[in-house]
Amino acid sequence: MRTADRKARRRALTILAAAAGFPMLGVRSAMARAPRLEWRGQALGGPARIVLRHPDNQRARQVLSHCVAEIDRLESVFSLYRPSSELAQLNQRGKLASPSHDLRLVMAAAKRFGVLSDGAFDVTVQPLWQTYARHFATRPGDRRGPAARELARAAALVDYRNLDLDEGRIRLARPGMAVTLNGIAQGYITDRIADLLRDAGMTGVLVDLGEMRALDAPGEDPWRIGIEDPRNRGRIIGSLPLRGAALATSGGYGMPFDEDGRFHHLFDPATGRSAAQCLSATAVAPDAMTADALATALAVAKRERTRALLAAFGGSHARLILPDGGVVEATP
C-alpha cells in the first residue's frame, strides 16, 4: 500500500517532454550531428530517461553506464523503498551520526528552501502524508478527509526548523517527525547526472527523472518541454523552452487521495490541508533541485507570493494553471 502510494506520488510530477535538440540551420557542428543515445529506466520508483549525443557511441554508452550506477548509489541514500537507505534510517531512528555528503547537501538545501519560502516548502510534511494515507486507506472515497484533531496532531510535527544539521550530523529534533525528500531528491539526482554528463563532454543532454535538466548546448535548439493538462492527463496544453536550465512541475492532480482531487499530497504546512491555490505549478531554475523545490513551494504558497518566491529561489520562470483553467505566467 505504501509503496503503491509513493509510486503514485511520483507520477504527480511527471510532465511530458517533446523531444527536440535539432541543430539550427548553418551551425551544424560535428557534435550536433553526433548520434543520439537514449536510456530509459527507473529512479526512486519513477520512470527515468537520459538523452545525449556524442560522436563516439562507445564512449557515450560507457558514460551512460556510470550514470546508471550513480542513480543506483543515490537510491541507497534517498530511496524510501530501501529500508537500508540513509533516509529510511533517519526516519526510523530520528538521527544519523554519519550521513553521506549527498544527504547532508540535500537536507541543508531543504532547510534553506524552507526558510526562503517561509515554510511553503517543507520536507517534514511526511507525518501529514501518513495521516492522509492512513485515513483514505481505511475510508476510501470519504468526502470530509481526516478529522481536524488528527490533522492538528500531525501538523504539529511539521516544521523544517526542527531539522538539526549541525556538525555534519542530521537529527530530527522532535519525536515522531519524519522527512520526505520526494520534492527535492529527484532534482538532486538529476543535477548529479547532468554534471556527470557535462564533465564527460556529452552534448544534447536531457535528464528526465520527473524533473528535467537540459545542458546548455551551443548550436542546438532548446528542448521544448510539454506541460501536461492537469484536468486531462496525457494531454499537453503548452510548452516551455529549456536550455542550460531545469524545469519541474508540481500538481496535486498527480496523486489525489479522493476522486474529486480535493485531497492530495501537496500540503500547506500551515493548515495541514491540501493546497488549492492552483492545479499545477511549473518552475524553471538553474538547477533541478531548486526547480523541484520551487515548483512545490509555488503550488502551496498564496498566488501573490509567486514573484517573490521566484526571486528568492533564483528561478527564472513560473507557470501556474489555476483551478478555473486560467494560466498565470510569472518572472521575477
Partner 1 sequence: MHRRIAAVWRPILAMWLAVATVPFSSAFAEDGHIAAAVLKRIFPAATHFGSVGGAPPAIPAYRNDEIIGHVFRSHAVVRSVGLSGKTLDIAVGLDAAGIITGAEILEHHEPILAIGVSDDDLARFVAKFSGRDARLPIQVLRRAPKDGTAVDAVSGATVSSLLMADAIFQSAIAVGRSRGVLEGGASGIDLTGFEEADWQTLLADGSLRRLVLTLGEVTRPLADKGARLYPAGAGPDDPDIRFIDLVAGLATPARIGRNLLGPQRFNRLVGALAPGDHLIFVAANGLYSFKGTGYVKSGRFDRIQITQGERTFQLTRDDHTRIEQLRIAGAPKFREMALFVLRQDRGFDAARPWRLELLVEGESDAGSVLTVHTLDYGLPGRYIPAAGTAQPRVPSQDLWRAVWLDRLPDVVLLIGMLLILGAIFFLQDLVARRRILYKALRYGFLIVTLFWLGWYAAAQLTVINVLTFTAALRTEFEWEFFLLEPLIFILWAFVAVALLFGGRGAFCGWLCPFGALQELLNRIARRFRVPQFRLPFTLHERLWPVKYIIFLSLFALSLGAFDMAYTAAEVEPFKTAIVMRFVREWPFLLYVAVLLGAGLFVERAFCRYLCPLGAALAVPARIRMFEWLKRRWHCGQQCNICATKCPVQAIHPNGSINPNECIYCLNCQTLYFDDQTCPPLIVRRKRREKHDAEPFAEGV
Residue 8: CB minimum distance to partner 1, A: 16
Under a CB-based contact definition with an 8 Å cutoff, are residues 284 and 291 in contact? Answer: yes
Per DSSP, helices labelled H in the chain are 2-11, 30-33, 57-78, 86-93, 101-116, 126-138, 148-155, 185-199, 288-300, 306-313
Q: Is 173 in the site for partner 1 (CB under 8 A)?
A: no
User: Residue from 111, 135, 265, 319 that binds partner 1 (CB under 8 A)?
Assistant: 111
Nearer to partner 1, 293 or 320 (CB): 293
Please report whether residue 147 would count as binding partner 1 according to CB under 8 A.
Answer: no
Contact between 221 and partner 1 by CB under 8 A: the answer reads no
- Judged by CB under 8 A, does residue 208 bind partner 1? no
Span 297-316, contacts to partner 1 by CB under 8 A: 314
Q: Is 232 in the site for partner 1 (CB under 8 A)?
A: no
- Cβ atoms of 93 and 84 closer than 8 Å: no
Q: How far apart are CA 271 and CA 298, in angstroms?
A: 16
- Taking the C-alpha atoms of residue 250 and residue 280, their distance in angstroms, rounded to an integer, is 5
- Under a CB-based contact definition with an 8 Å cutoff, are residues 168 and 176 in contact? no
Under the binding rule (CB under 8 A), the answer on residue 4 touching partner 1 is: no
Which of 117, 94, 149, 145 is CA-nearest to residue 269?
Answer: 117
- Looking at 54-62, 150-158, 208-216, 266-274, which segment touches partner 1 (CB under 8 A)? 54-62
- Grid cell, residue 45, equals 520508483
Q: At what angle do helices 185-199 and 57-78 cross, to 10 degrees?
A: 150
When binding is defined by CB under 8 A, the residue of 76, 91, 162, 316 that contacts partner 1 is 76
Among residue numbers 7 through 46, which ones bind partner 1 (CB under 8 A)?
Answer: 39-42
Binding piece for partner 1, criterion CB under 8 A, among 18-26, 97-105, 240-248, 276-284: 97-105
d(CA 292, CA 248): 5
Distance in Å, CB of 112 to partner 1, minimum:
4
To partner 1, the closest distance from the beta carbon of 309 in angstroms equals: 12
Residue selected from 101, 141, 149, 324 as contacting partner 1 according to rule CB under 8 A: 101
The secondary structure of 175-194 as a DSSP string is TT-----TTTHHHHHHHHHH
State yes or no: residue 149 binds partner 1 (CB under 8 A): no
Among 147, 129, 118, residue whose Cα is nearest residue 257: 129
Query: Which one, 70 or 159, has the nearer CB to partner 1?
Result: 70
Q: Which of residues 260-299 bind partner 1 (CB under 8 A)?
A: 286
Q: Please, which residue, 16 or 105, has the CB nearer to partner 1? A: 105
**Residue where the block lists cell 501529514:** 128
Tell which one of 52, 109, 133, 284 touches partner 1 (CB under 8 A): 109
Q: At 171, which helix (H) or strand (E)?
A: strand 170-172
CB of 256 to partner 1, least distance (A): 24
Closest CA to 42 of 208, 182, 180: 208
Given the rule CB under 8 A, which residues bind partner 1?
Answer: 39-42, 57-58, 61-62, 64-66, 68-70, 72-73, 76-77, 97-98, 100-102, 104-105, 108-109, 111-112, 115-116, 165, 167-169, 199, 286, 314
